[in-house]
Structure 1
Amino acid sequence: MPQITVDYSERLADGFDRPAFARDLHTAVVEIAAARPPACKTRFRRTEDVVVGPDTGGHALVHVHIALLAGRSDETKARLTEAVLDLLRQYVKPSEGQTLHASAEVRELDASYRKFEGE
């Protein structure tokens, strides 16, 4: 915990500093949601096909999903979501003529969530 997934348009690959974004996102999650630094895990999923409205041209998407253990207030989740959007503004630079659609969601992990660490 937290489990972080970042879906992003393939056309953003060169303009998205993913390592720096993840580093600063982990810092924000620790400061805002009281997560432990070694528990922060982020995976990036590049999406080839994006359709916005009636066409595919000129649009790029980034959506960040953050799943936390239960117990954070709605205010904390909203602050974290706003921090994510600020970081996306900083670390995602779409190509000329591209419209960036950025979004984020913070939700609670289901009570069934379990994990293990091993070698």
Structure 2
Amino acid sequence: MPHLVIEYSQKLEDSISIPALVSNGQQAMNDTGLFNAGAIKTRAVPFREFVLGKSHEGSSNLFIHAEVRILEGRTSEQKEALSAAIFNYLCEAAPEVPEISVEVRDMQKASYSKRVPF
């Protein structure tokens, strides 16, 4: 069930492999040991138009933001470790990107619906 959504500036497609970013992000999620490997879902979403704070002349306008959505019930320590693992992976995978952030969000079981194959 966990979802890793990697948002990034579309300009990054010229310098890094987005399919590798996704597959390696999937592996980073799996390596935490917090989830069943078959349940992890990872995807990447490019952004063409955006503003990063105050634009500075000569700034690269490159970013990666990962949102990890998990069902409620994990401890703060587990969420902190998960955030750190994904953050470290992204920093290693894209050292030229100055703006990298990760957010772990709880999804409430009562409001999450899912269709599963038979």
TM range (shorter): 0.7 to 0.9
Distance in 2 (alpha carbons) for counterparts of 1:73 and 1:100: 30
Identity among equivalent positions (%) equals 27
What displacement does 1:61 show?
1.2
Unaligned runs of 5+ in 1: none
Q: Which runs of structure 1 show a deviation greater than 4 angstroms over 4 or more consecutive aligned residues?
A: none
The residue aligned with 2:101 is 103
Distance in 2 (alpha carbons) for counterparts of 1:33 and 1:68: 14
Distance in 2 (alpha carbons) for counterparts of 1:54 and 1:30: 36
Q: Deviations over 1:44-82 (max 9, x none)?
A: 110001312332752211100011111111111111111
Aligned-partner residue type, residue 63 of structure 1 = H
Unaligned runs of 5+ in 2: none
The residue aligned with 1:11 is 11
Give the TM-score normalised by the residue count of structure 1. 0.81
Aligned residues: 115
Q: CA RMSD in A?
A: 2.2
Q: Is the 8 A contact 2:5 2:66 kept in 1?
A: yes
Distance in 2 (alpha carbons) for counterparts of 1:62 and 1:78: 18
Q: Deviations over 1:81-100 (max 9, x none)?
A: 11111111121254xxxx52
Give the TM-score normalised by the residue count of structure 2. 0.82
Distance in 2 (alpha carbons) for counterparts of 1:83 and 1:30: 10
Distance in 2 (alpha carbons) for counterparts of 1:78 and 1:91: 20
Q: Is the 8 A contact 1:6 1:65 kept in 2?
A: yes
Distance in 2 (alpha carbons) for counterparts of 1:14 and 1:89: 17
